[in-house]
Amino acid sequence: MRYLDRVRAETAAFLKENVKVNYFDGSDEIPLTTSLGEAEVLYAASDKIKAMADNGELQQIHDKVANLKELSETQYINLKDRLMNIINAGHAKEDEIFDTLIEDHEVTGIRKHHVFGDSVLDMMSFTYKMASVENLSILANAIEKAEDPYALEQCQVKLVALLGSKVNALE
């Protein structure tokens, strides 16, 4: 028998004889991937921990933690999905206003959400993720140059409100 195999066998036999329960997860097995420090903690567990393992209380705690972890992960995913739905709805409304600015008011440089520019620089940069803020800047410039800025100002008010709703959703 190789030395490593013999050490593994001796270690497994020692742990099986002296540590009846893996107090870290409530199982009956101590894996050989357990570090020496972890084995020492298991071996030196208090009588209270051993009693909790014997009467099933420790396993109940492990089960409760596992259930809470699963519940929190599910709630996190649901919350993230709801936030993304709110943000995507805001983006859709903004894109409608962007279409109006482009088609009806001929404002140049406006960028819709999830649409890259034609240049390599646009594709390599992350500015496409900031279409709302970037377009507000472009719109402010267009308002300054417009002979009749009223319609553009109305678009600006709507865009600021939509941006505010997305910020509020994230708070």
Say yes or no: 128 and 164 in one domain. Answer: yes
Answer yes or no: are the C-beta atoms of 139 and 156 closer than 8 Å: yes
Cβ-proximal residues to 45 (8 Å cutoff; 6+ apart), any chain: 19, 23
Cβ-proximal residues to 20 (8 Å cutoff; 6+ apart), any chain: 28, 50, 53
> Number of folded domains in the chain?
2
Q: Is the pLDDT of residue 122 over 70?
A: no
Q: Is the pLDDT of residue 154 over 80?
A: yes
In order of 73, 85, 171, the CA distances from 79 in angstroms are 10, 10, 12
68 in any annotated domain: no
Domain that holds residue 21: 3-55
Q: Is the pLDDT of residue 70 over 90?
A: yes
Q: What is the pTM of this model?
A: 0.62
**The pLDDT of residue 158:** 96
112 in any annotated domain: yes
Say yes or no: 18 and 97 in one domain. Answer: no
Say yes or no: 88 and 155 in one domain. Answer: yes
**Res. 60 pLDDT band, cuts 50 70 90:** very high
63 in any annotated domain: no
Say yes or no: 84 and 126 in one domain. Answer: yes
